[in-house]
Amino acid sequence: MAVSRVVMPKLSEAMETGKLIKWLKGEGDRVNGGDILAEVETDKADVEMEAFGAGVLRKVLLQPGEQAPVGTLIAVIAEPDEDISAVLAAAPSTPATAAAVLPRSAPAVAPRPVAPAPRPVAPAPAPQPVAAVAAASRGRVKASPLAKKIAAQSGVDLRLIQGSGPGGRIVRRDVEAAATAAPAAAPARAATPGVGYEDRPLTPMRAIIARQMPLSKAPVPHFYVTSEIAMDRAWDLREALNALEGQPKISVNDLIVRACALALLEHPGVNASFRGESIRVHHRAHLGIAVALDEGLITPVLRDADGKSLAQIAVESRELAERARHRKLRATELSGATFSISNLGMLDVDEFSAIINPPEGAILAVGSVRRIPVVVGDGLGVGRRMRVTLSCDHRVMDGAMGARFLQSVKRLLEEPLRLLV
């Protein structure tokens, strides 16, 4: 059994520092891979931090309320008999404060050159600014025996539930509500390295572009491709689908997600990330769907969108959005997108340009569907039109590639029966 170092995770691409809200495991607790260790506040959301190693949570180095740069060692998981002193000695002795944010490029866990004294294996308890919160989160979960049984069967983590019984006891109805609200997230298959993508060598031209573009338009060289899409048939299809009994309601955005997912399969070059020395072309389409919140924007990820039917997309994206609004998303649901969609259609927007979420290669900005005069044959008629703008990372692709992708999206939406097959 190896010693597992728990570091402040990078929970969003932009995240450089994270604040620990609370530990959900205490020192001495047994931890399995996938268990939720802590809640961390990022610039975007409160997210749950998963454990990637199994063993006992031996040492916690960051107290609730404190901040640490991404990559900083904040806890150690190991078997009880394993020596973790070396790992601890390599850790910074005090957590970084908000002011002490390390630059992203710095090796966050680099050994300190001259430590004043080796950090003892079992140091005296550090002052705990919010000790009460920590203690509460470490106390045993109070749940009725039945609630525990149902939780075990349905995979609900009791530590994440607020009990409604006397003294906060978690009772059956609490677990059932949690189980209904949060069907267990699909295992993150992408976690296995070496599958799910391929690294293609840069062509000499591409290498030059990659070197040059950031210099002129840092950090990501954007270009934009805009297209107008006739949405009359898509509109009709949506109405027909929503007239069906017992089917989930389909939104215009769901149609766009489906169209993009299919188009990305067709144009893998758009479903790609710049990697410095290579371009990673993703074989699966994980779509970030921007959700507007009062306080900002969050982009939960609909995984494997290319393999999902319209109905699945409708149900899952609604559920993701719902949890995004309640800040109940897990870290894995906030990262790993290969392409994003930002739809401001409901806000009466003709068109706009979106900023790419690195390391994604592109993002589609969607405006409102409008009824406008259109040329029909030799005369005029009224049609539903929607303008979309694709922002592309020029290091990854060129204008033509973006345009071809957009053409595919357009065709899929203008001949929407293709979305059903």
Partner 1 sequence: MAVMTYREALNLALREEMHRDPRVFVIGEEVGLYQGAYKVTQGLLEEFGPERIVDTPIAESGFTGIGIGAAMVGLRPVVEMMTFNFALLALDQIVNSAAKMNYMSGGQYNIPIVIRGPGGPAAQLAAQHSQSMETYFYHVPGLKVVRPSTPADAKGLLKAAIRDDNPVIFIESETLYALKGEVPDDPDFVIPLGQGIVRREGTDVTVVAYMGMLYRALEAAEELAVEGISVEIVDPRTLRPMDTELILASVRKTHRAVVVEAGAGFAGMGSEIAACITEQGFDELDAPVERVTGESAPMPYARNLEKAKTPSKEKIVAAIRRVCYANGNGS
Strand order in the sheet with 197-201: 197-201, 278-282, 272-274
Could you give the string, one character per residue 2-41, with x where binding to partner 1 holds by CB under 8 A and - elsewhere?
A: ----------------------------------------
| Contact partners, residue 256, CB within 8 Å, separation at least 6 | 341, 343, 364, 366, 388, 409, 413
CA 300, distance to chain mean position in Å, is 5
Q: Please state the closest distance from residue 153 (CB atom) to partner 1, in A.
A: 11
Residue nearer to partner 1 on the CB measure, 172 or 283: 172
Q: Quote the CA–CA distance of 359 and 219 in Å, as a whole number.
A: 11
Residue nearer to partner 1 on the CB measure, 173 or 217: 173
Could you give the string, one character per residue 231-260, with x where binding to partner 1 holds by CB under 8 A and - elsewhere?
A: ------------------------------
- Are the CB atoms for 254 and 310 separated by under 8 Å? yes
Q: Quote the CA–CA distance of 74 and 88 in Å, as a whole number.
A: 10
CA 199, distance to chain mean position in Å, is 22
Joined tokens for residue 282: 């993703």
- Are the CB atoms for 140 and 158 separated by under 8 Å? no
Could you give the string, one character per residue 105-144, with x where binding to partner 1 holds by CB under 8 A and - elsewhere?
A: ---------------------------------------x
Residue 394 annotated in active site: yes
Q: Please state the closest distance from residue 34 (CB atom) to partner 1, in A.
A: 24
The torsion angle over the Cα atoms of residues 367, 369, 375 and 379, rounded to 10 degrees, is: -150
- Are the CB atoms for 50 and 111 separated by under 8 Å? no
Query: Strand pairing partners for 280?
Result: 199, 273
DSSP-derived letter for residue 284 is: S
Q: How many residues bind partner 1 (CB under 8 A)?
A: 14
Q: Please state the closest distance from residue 327 (CB atom) to partner 1, in A.
A: 22
DSSP helix/strand/coil, 20: strand
**Segment 141 to 170, residues that bind partner 1, using CB under 8 A:** 144-149, 163-166, 168
DSSP string, 160-198: G----SGGG-B-HHHHHHHHHHSPPPPP-GGGSTTSSEE
Joined tokens for residue 40: 């961390």
- Which one from 267, 282, 286, 394 is the annotated catalytic residue? 394
Q: Please state the closest distance from residue 169 (CB atom) to partner 1, in A.
A: 8
Q: Please state the closest distance from residue 39 (CB atom) to partner 1, in A.
A: 22
Number of H helices, E strands in the chain: 9, 19
Residue nearer to partner 1 on the CB measure, 177 or 186: 177
Joined tokens for residue 10: 């990078």
Instruction: Determine, following the binding rule CB under 8 A, whether residue 104 of this chain makes contact with partner 1.
Output: no
| Contact partners, residue 216, CB within 8 Å, separation at least 6 | none
Joined tokens for residue 295: 């306080």
Q: Please state the closest distance from residue 222 (CB atom) to partner 1, in A.
A: 51
**Segment 166 to 225, residues that bind partner 1, using CB under 8 A:** 166, 168, 171-173
Q: Please state the closest distance from residue 171 (CB atom) to partner 1, in A.
A: 5
* Binding residues for partner 1 (CB under 8 A): 144-149, 163-166, 168, 171-173
Q: Which residues belong to the active site?
A: 394
